[in-house]
Chains A and B, each alone.
Chain A
Amino acid sequence: MPARNNEQWEQKPDLKKGEWVDSRIYSDEEIFEEELSRIWKKAWIPLMHESELPEPFDFRTAIIAREPVIVVRGPDNQIRAFLNVCPHRGMALDRRPAGSFLQGEPSGNAKHMTCMFHGWQFDMKGNCVEIPREKAGYQGRVTKEGQGLRRLRCETKFGGIVWVCLDDKIDCDVEGWAAGSLDCIRKSLDEEPLEIFHYHKAIIDCNYKLWHDTNSEFYHDYMHYHNRITGFDDAYFARECSAFDNGHVNVGTFTVNYGEYEVAHDRGDLTFPHLPPNNWYMVDMFPGVNVNLRGSALRMDLMTPLSANKVMIEFRGLGLKSDSKKVRDHRIHHHNTIWGPFGRNLHEDLVGVAGQGVTMMPNSEPRRILHGRHEGLYIHDEVGMRHFYDTWGKWMDRLPSDPGKKYEPGLVVGPEMPPAKGISIFPGKGAVAAE
């Protein structure tokens, strides 16, 4: 078709509902605010790994839907989460990204969380244990007993990931929330303790869902040109996507031909427990986390939505706590080659979503974003995004393709047109039997 005039450009695509979304879901500030309250404040968010606070009295701070969160390890080794808010006059209890309460601070005692402002102190369970001049100032009207921190639901689960939910009333635990999506890597995560070795972050001017989309579709290997021409074979294209309740998706394993990458050397010799050499699993969890176990390293991306077109993405890399230095160095090298800030793929992925952010700034013209590829649930099928947006529509009670309208069930998610048996999914790459 030649370039289109405005009327043609604005026509709805000749696809079924569920096979495209309206770009306002990525750019509208009102929708964004609603997402924070209807989704992010109601979901289990995997904020960090327990090895980031390895010792009693260690803490780490984070943000969920603009709410400041502090996660602490108690002397009983329990990890607990609280709002990082002093109940007195709202100072952040601790201003650092991480640290230890083992040492005292100018305003407070060791082994306590002390608000530096007026010296209220709390123990690792969130009990208020000190209000300076409590009786003199409040004459019994405000007491320590009534001034505990706001505790948050918190579970350490699936290989030591620390999950926090702002909603006390969420009707499932983390196990129920994951809905089976992590089962494919569960044995690998739970066999022995894991340890973080990599952290960096990006703040990108794009909607958080665009990063999640990039993690959930593989059709963009056209962007990773180098990977495509060196490492892909039939096994790659035969990978399968599976959808789970609560909007999660995973992509099944395939054997990456690392030997054909010119720089990355064969990773077959180093893996995770129970993970066959060179196997690969990617789990995209609603609303914005990606867990990726590839051969020797585990990667976890957590999105923190900042505004309709701004997201912070934190990148973590993990190995086994028992790693010798040599093994750990090996894992780090593998991790960095592809996923590090100088790795092959990560920079390209980030340049990609930044480019989408440019065309979807707040108040820009609504456009249709197509999610309509059907390839029998194999690698280039866009089922991951369709499943995500069906769940998103339910939680938001909005129709992703027309967000001013209410959600309606029956959006196309699964296979519409499986490729015919014996027909290559990827022309020129040989036949892949689609059962």
Chain B
Amino acid sequence: MSANGTNKTEMVKDAIYQACLNLDEQKWDEWLGQCDENFEYSITAHSPEIGKDMKYLGLNALELKEYFELLPKHNTDHSPLRRHATVYSVSVDEKAKTAEAVTSFLITQEMFDGVNAPLDTGENHLFVVGKYLDKLKIENGHAVFTERETRIHTRRLDKGSHWVF
């Protein structure tokens, strides 16, 4: 890989890790700021129980923005979610100035409401396991998300979440 390519790989990794920080801290606008205006987001899973690939959520950039704006109008479990992510692979298309990346992640939940707050608050537990399958474009010296499929291996979601992964 050229020095140039290495650079772009680093840009992609930086973007993914920065996205993790933004999502961990619920800086929704900052995260959307990392995304193209035609960004497509989805949460998918395969269910061996019913033998189907499923989509649990699918929103474009505009719908995501609306989704985030509604959060204050919802009753939501207050337990913060945090990602531990490792970028496994980045492939850069030099000509098209695009890249694809696969990132493995675990999401932990810091129990706040928990099930019974006086008992559970302060505990962390594993909430979700999955991979980010990202598509990005590289412009003006940084990588911008054009598509993210959050493919999870968790189908027991218990209370669920209003916060996207």
Report which A residues bind B (CB closer than 8 A).
51-52, 54, 60, 96-99, 196-205, 223, 225-226, 229, 262-263, 316, 329, 332-333, 336, 340-342, 344, 346-348, 350-352, 354, 357-358, 361
Shortest Cβ gap from A315 to chain B (Å): 9
Mark contacts of B40-63 with chain A using CB atoms, 8 A cut-off: 1 yes-contact digit, 0 otherwise: 000101011111101111100001
Q: Do residues B74 and A226 form an inter-chain contact, with CB atoms below 8 A?
A: yes
Question: Across chains A and B, which 6 residue pairs bring their CB atoms closest together, nearest first?
Answer: A226-B73, A341-B160, A347-B160, A350-B159, A341-B157, A342-B57
Q: Do residues A263 and B67 form an inter-chain contact, with CB atoms below 8 A?
A: yes
Q: Do residues B43 and A262 form an inter-chain contact, with CB atoms below 8 A?
A: no
Contact of B156 among A60, A200, A263, A358 (CB under 8 A): A200
Q: Do residues A97 and B48 form an inter-chain contact, with CB atoms below 8 A?
A: yes
Of the candidates A99, A229, A316, A348, the one having the most CB atoms from chain B within 10 angstroms of its own CB is A348
In the complex, chain A residues whose CB is within 8 Å of the CB of B73: 225-226, 229
Q: Do residues A201 and B155 form an inter-chain contact, with CB atoms below 8 A?
A: yes
Q: Do residues B159 and A197 form an inter-chain contact, with CB atoms below 8 A?
A: no
Q: Do residues B56 and A340 form an inter-chain contact, with CB atoms below 8 A?
A: yes
Report which B residues bind A (CB closer than 8 A).
43, 45, 47-52, 54-58, 63, 66-67, 69-70, 73-77, 113, 115-116, 155-162, 164
Shortest Cβ gap from B85 to chain A (Å): 19
Contact of A342 among B47, B48, B115, B164 (CB under 8 A): B164
In the complex, chain B residues whose CB is within 8 Å of the CB of A202: 156-160
Q: Do residues A199 and B55 form an inter-chain contact, with CB atoms below 8 A?
A: no
Bound-complex Cα distance A99 to B51 (A): 8
Q: Do residues A98 and B55 form an inter-chain contact, with CB atoms below 8 A?
A: no
Bound-complex Cα distance A98 to B113 (A): 34
Bound-complex Cα distance A361 to B51 (A): 36
Q: Is the interface of A mostly helix, strand, loop or mixed?
A: mixed
In the complex, chain A residues whose CB is within 8 Å of the CB of B57: 336, 340-342
Q: Do residues A52 and B49 form an inter-chain contact, with CB atoms below 8 A?
A: yes
Contact of B52 among A99, A199, A329, A361 (CB under 8 A): A199
Contact of B54 among A52, A199, A205, A352 (CB under 8 A): A199
Shortest Cβ gap from A354 to chain B (Å): 6
Given contacts A263-B63, A342-B160, A342-B164, contact A347 B49 (CB under 8 A): no
In the complex, chain A residues whose CB is within 8 Å of the CB of B160: 202, 341-342, 346-347, 350
In the complex, chain A residues whose CB is within 8 Å of the CB of B75: 223, 225, 348, 351-352
In the complex, chain A residues whose CB is within 8 Å of the CB of B156: 200-203
A197-B54, A226-B70 known; 16 new pairs, CB 8 Å cut-off, are A96-B48, A98-B48, A200-B157, A202-B158, A225-B75, A262-B69, A263-B63, A263-B66, A336-B57, A341-B56, A341-B157, A341-B161, A347-B159, A348-B76, A350-B159, A354-B159
Shortest Cβ gap from B159 to chain A (Å): 4
Q: Do residues A97 and B49 form an inter-chain contact, with CB atoms below 8 A?
A: yes
Q: Do residues A351 and B58 form an inter-chain contact, with CB atoms below 8 A?
A: no
In the complex, chain A residues whose CB is within 8 Å of the CB of B58: 329, 332-333, 336
Q: Do residues A347 and B162 form an inter-chain contact, with CB atoms below 8 A?
A: yes
Shortest Cβ gap from A362 to chain B (Å): 13
A-B contact pairs, 24 of them (CB 8 A): A97-B48, A198-B54, A200-B45, A201-B156, A202-B156, A202-B157, A203-B158, A223-B75, A226-B70, A263-B63, A316-B50, A329-B55, A336-B55, A336-B58, A342-B57, A346-B160, A347-B159, A347-B161, A347-B162, A348-B74, A351-B75, A351-B76, A351-B77, A358-B116
Q: Do residues A344 and B115 form an inter-chain contact, with CB atoms below 8 A?
A: no
Of the candidates A96, A197, A351, the one having the most CB atoms from chain B within 10 angstroms of its own CB is A351
Bound-complex Cα distance A225 to B54 (A): 28
In the complex, chain A residues whose CB is within 8 Å of the CB of B77: 347, 351
In the complex, chain A residues whose CB is within 8 Å of the CB of B70: 226, 262-263, 344
In the complex, chain B residues whose CB is within 8 Å of the CB of A99: 48
Q: Do residues A204 and B158 form an inter-chain contact, with CB atoms below 8 A?
A: yes
Q: Do residues A52 and B50 form an inter-chain contact, with CB atoms below 8 A?
A: yes
In the complex, chain A residues whose CB is within 8 Å of the CB of B56: 198, 200, 336, 340-342
Shortest Cβ gap from A403 to chain B (Å): 24
Bound-complex Cα distance A66 to B10 (A): 53
Shortest Cβ gap from A221 to chain B (Å): 12
Given contacts A226-B73, A351-B113, contact A332 B55 (CB under 8 A): yes
Q: Considering only CB atoms, which chain B residue lies closest to A355 in the complex?
A: B113
